[in-house]
Amino acid sequence: MKEPRIKKWWLIRLALTIVGKKGLKEMRKASKDGKKASDEILRHILTLSKDTIYGKEHHFEEILAAATSEELFRLYQKYVPMNDYENLRPYIERHKNGEANILFPGKPKMYGTTSGTTKEPKWIPVTEEYYKEVYKKMNQMWFYTLIMNKPKAFYGPTVIIVGKAIEGAAPDGTVFGSVSGVMARDIPNFMKAVYTAPGDVSHITDYKARYYAIMRMSIERNCTLVITANPSTLVEMQTNANEFFDDYCDDIEHGTLSKKFPISDEIRAAFQEYLKPNPKRAAQLRELKKKYGTVLPKHYWPDMQIVNTWFCGNTKIYYEKIKDSFPPKCLYHEFSYLSTEVKAGLVLKSGSQDTILFAHKNYFEFIHESDIENPNPKIYQVHEVKKGERYCMLVTTSAGLYRYNMNDLLEITGHINQFPYLKFIQKINGTISLTGEKLHERQFIEAVHEVEKKTGKSAPFFVGFADLEKSNYKFYYEFANQNTTAAEAEEFTAQVDKVMQEYNPEYREKRASNRVKAPDTALLGPESFERFKATCIDRGYRDGQFKLNLLMQDEKRHAMFKELVK
């Protein structure tokens, strides 16, 4: 495959630098007065929607009459309740069924869909304004942050893995799908030269076939940037490479896409302009296999500059699996704190997990972690949160979310003037209680790591489930040493149980009274997480949105893990 002319890389770098610098300059200027920035964005959002059904029901006009910032914030908290998705679902359903001016003026551009707390998914509206003013502008700055850290990040092909742009439509015809997929689809044509494969790759329904197509196209080229939200995807890519390396070489040599995989004729046709015989590259790859045996990204992508993915919170366990697979000079750049509901800010420095909030693009409120259970908690503004403290965040956007509880525990790690840096710690609903013990996912994870150090037994993957019927927890381990016996695993669990009792007095009390019984143990075979994820994707989860808490009360997922036991 012929590389685009080098001047195109310069063009991309120049264009992104110009718009990126402008956006960051605007953010830094706004950050000098956090209260003013919050006042202005809240007034802007409320003004846009004051004549909507929700705006009228919640007195937006009266709130906007406030003479001072303090009065504005007070009235907003008075008239607009803290919301979760279920509070807003009736309004969103009206939009989905064709009504306009319900949560925001007009109708949405699209919906981003994601899993919710009930069996029904969440349909998050994306308005034209939010798409242009938040997603589009912040994405331009996001790309610039990559250039800031590695000036040659866009000097070669990019492996970008996003969800399907359009997956279907609401009853009124408004499309739903992956916002990241739409953004990837809509980038300027001059930037599309960096993509290793057409966007049609996201439409391949078979899980293994999709990864084969992604890697077959990407491994042919000396890529310099990988963008994928979830590091477990990188594990999948490498697993696929190990399994089908010889097939890649044959395909690359002959300019084909293997017929072994169920890929529709329509999608294959979209790949044709990308497929040219490349015997030279095929020979290089075969030589790498002769030399190294197991060929890793650092071998076939020696000029890789940045891997842009999550490695905060629970995703760190998967990051650990791939961190040594890429070239030593390659930087890992945190994907930033974002979700389908809100694009909250950006990570500016590679190696950091700290997202700077763009508080001039969204309105943010905070509840201190000590007050989360309080039905009437004290609310903090952007300029009031303190470094080292942890909070739950409420967001208000121009896309119809008002005082929306993200249900995330976030730690403030610093500031740019009066805009805070934060990092994701965990979902607040990562706390499980069978009978009031309030066992935290973080406590379970740290207990396993402590026992790993004590015993020398490595568990690259583990997961725990609450079993309501048995009034206990069941812990599943994939040990690095697959010869670990059931008795050794049970002893490992006994030590984990002991450490968790040290961490959590209420858990200790419930165990002592036998209200929570001793945990059970199960051994998992190799690549258990990968096999579990593959099953989930086959059942409709999107790669970028795939999330797995490591301590859960989820009967459906528990049943799936029971099938993976050795």
Rounded to an integer, the average pLDDT of 14-25 is 92
The per-residue pLDDT for 544 is 58
Q: How far apart are CA 431 and CA 418, in angstroms?
A: 31
The overall longest dimension of the chain from CA atoms, in Å, is: 74
Looking at residues 234-256, what average pLDDT do you find?
A: 93
Confidence of residue 4 (pLDDT cuts 50, 70, 90): very low
* pLDDT higher than threshold 50 for residue 166: yes
How wide is the angle at C-alpha 541 spanned by C-alphas 535 and 545, nearest 5°?
Answer: 125
130-158 per-position pLDDT tens digit: 999 999 999 989 999 999 999 999 989 99
* Confidence class for position 7, pLDDT limits 50, 70, 90: low
Pick from 449-458, 523-532, 548-557 the range whose average pLDDT is largest.
Answer: 449-458
Q: For 324-335, what is the mean pLDDT? A: 94
- Looking at the predicted structure, is the pLDDT value of residue 545 above 60? no
Residue 541: band (very low, low, confident or very high) from pLDDT cuts 50, 70, 90: low
Residue 153 in domain? no
361-389: b (≥16 Cβ within 10 Å) or e: bbbbbbbbbeebeeeebebbbbbebeeee
Model confidence over 65-122: pLDDT tens digits? 999 999 999 999 999 999 999 999 999 999 999 999 999 999 999 999 876 544 467 8
- 426 within 8 A of 460, measured Cβ to Cβ: no
Q: What is the pLDDT of residues 391-420, one digit of tens each?
A: 999 999 999 999 999 988 999 999 999 999
Which pLDDT value is given to residue 178?
84
pLDDT tens, position by position, 502-537: 988 888 888 987 878 999 999 999 988 888 888 777
HEC-encoded secondary structure of 114-136: ECCCCCCCEEEEECHHHHHHHHH
The predicted pLDDT at position 191 comes to 72
Whole-number pLDDT of residue 119: 47
Average pLDDT over residues 273-298: 95
In a domain, 542, yes or no: yes
**Distance (Å, rounded) from C-alpha 17 to C-alpha 366?**
33
How sure is the predictor about 333, in pLDDT bands with cuts at 50, 70 and 90? very high
Taking residues 37-50, report their average pLDDT. Answer: 98
Specify the number of domains making up the chain.
Answer: 2
Domain end point (choices 327, 361, 381): 327
- Residue 180 CA, chain-centre distance (Å), reads 11
425-455 burial code (b ≥16 CB/10 A, e <16): bbbbebbbebeebebbbbbbbebbebbbeee
pLDDT tens digits, one per residue of 185-202: 777 776 777 889 888 898
Please state, rounded to an integer, the average pLDDT across all residues of the chain.
90
The more confident residue out of 110 and 430 is 110
DSSP 509-560: HHHHTTSSPPPEEEEB-TTHHHHHHHHHHHTT--GGG----SEE--HHHHHH
> What residue numbers bound the domain in which 317 lies?
199-327
Q: Is the whole-model pTM more than 0.85?
A: no
**Per-residue pLDDT, 129:** 94
Q: Is the CB of residue 154 less than 8 Å from the CB of residue 224? A: yes
Q: Phi/psi of residue 424, each to 5°?
A: -75, 130
Domain assignment of residue 227, yes or no: yes
The side-by-side arrangement of strands in the sheet containing 158-160 is 158-160, 225-227, 306-309, 331-334
Residue 481: give its domain's CATH number: 3.30.300
> What is the band of 433 on the pLDDT scale with cuts at 50, 70, 90?
confident
C-beta separation of 141 from 16 below 8 A: no
Q: Does any domain span residue 396?
A: no
Distances (CA, A) of 420 to 212, 357, 372: 41, 6, 20
| pLDDT at site 182 | 83
pLDDT at residue 456 above 50? yes
Domain termination site, one of 293, 327, 361: 327
Determine the average pLDDT of the residues in 362-375: 93
Residue 453 domain flag? yes
Is 395 among the domain residues? no
Residue 166 three-state SS = coil
Residue 182 covered by a domain: no
User: Could you give the CA distance from residue 155 to residue 259 in angstroms, rounded to a whole number?
Assistant: 32
- Give 563's contacts (C-beta < 8 A, 6+ positions apart): none
Residues 6+ apart with CB under 8 A from 523: 476, 477, 478, 479, 484, 486, 489, 565, 566
Q: Are strands 431-432 and 419-427 parallel, antiparallel or unpaired?
A: unpaired
pLDDT at position 71 is 98
Q: Which residues contact 259 (CB under 8 A, 6 or more apart)?
A: none
Assess if residue 115 is contained within a domain. Answer: no
The predicted pLDDT at position 449 comes to 95
Residue with tokens 């509070």: 87
Q: Are 333 and 306 contacting, i.e. CB atoms less than 8 angstroms apart?
A: yes
Task: Say what angle helices 528-538 and 207-218 make with each other, to 10 degrees.
Answer: 110
Beta bridge partners of 422: 355, 412
Q: In the prediction, which pLDDT does 110 show?
A: 95
Final residue in a domain of this structure, among 282, 302, 327: 327
Give the pairing type, strands 472-478 and 461-467: antiparallel
Tell me, what's the pLDDT at 6?
45
Distance of alpha carbon 342 from alpha carbon 340, whole angstroms = 6
